[in-house]
Structure 1
Amino acid sequence: MKKDKEKVLDDVWTEDHVRSFLDFKPYDGSDPDFHALLKAYQSMRASDFELFVGFFLDQQRNLDATGPDGRTVKAIINEHRRSSAYADVLDKAGAA
């Protein structure tokens, strides 16, 4: 059978697509700032994540919000060996 869709790699993200992650709401009662930032990290390339963090800060949101386990997104990123570019973005933005 033929595949219905081909996998898209290096899709170009528009500013609107990046901004749409600001509206992500948690369903488990966790901090909305933590949830939006985590979803952006999990979904975006570092350059798109940097753009997102700028929009995030424009809304005066909290880079140091914690999840249900008490960790920040930066703490989670620091556990991933290949995510230093994302940690750098948060460092430049002033995350603790």
Structure 2
Amino acid sequence: QPLLAGRAVLFVSRSFYWTDYSLPEWLGLEQYGFCSWDTIHNPFSRRREMRRFKQSAADVQEDDCATDGAKRQAPAASVITGMQILERANR
């Protein structure tokens, strides 16, 4: 079992490559998000991003409790689609 499995993880970097968006799948993560270093550096943006990330992690945990142990079929709110990955990679 991976070290980060079952935890909410926020990936922070100055820039992300298209392969970085595959990390959650490779690490077996269900609760994750991506954030730029510039966003974390700005105090207002950091608070907003952390609030959003905590809320999405809480929503995922709430959904897990509601399913009574059944495996969830819907992806987490922070899952990035293949098209979004390509758009970010081509910036």
TM-score (norm 1): 0.23
Greater RCO, 1 or 2 (C-alpha within 8 Å, sep 6+):
2
TM-score (norm 2): 0.23
- Would you tell me which structure has more strand in proportion to its own residues? 2
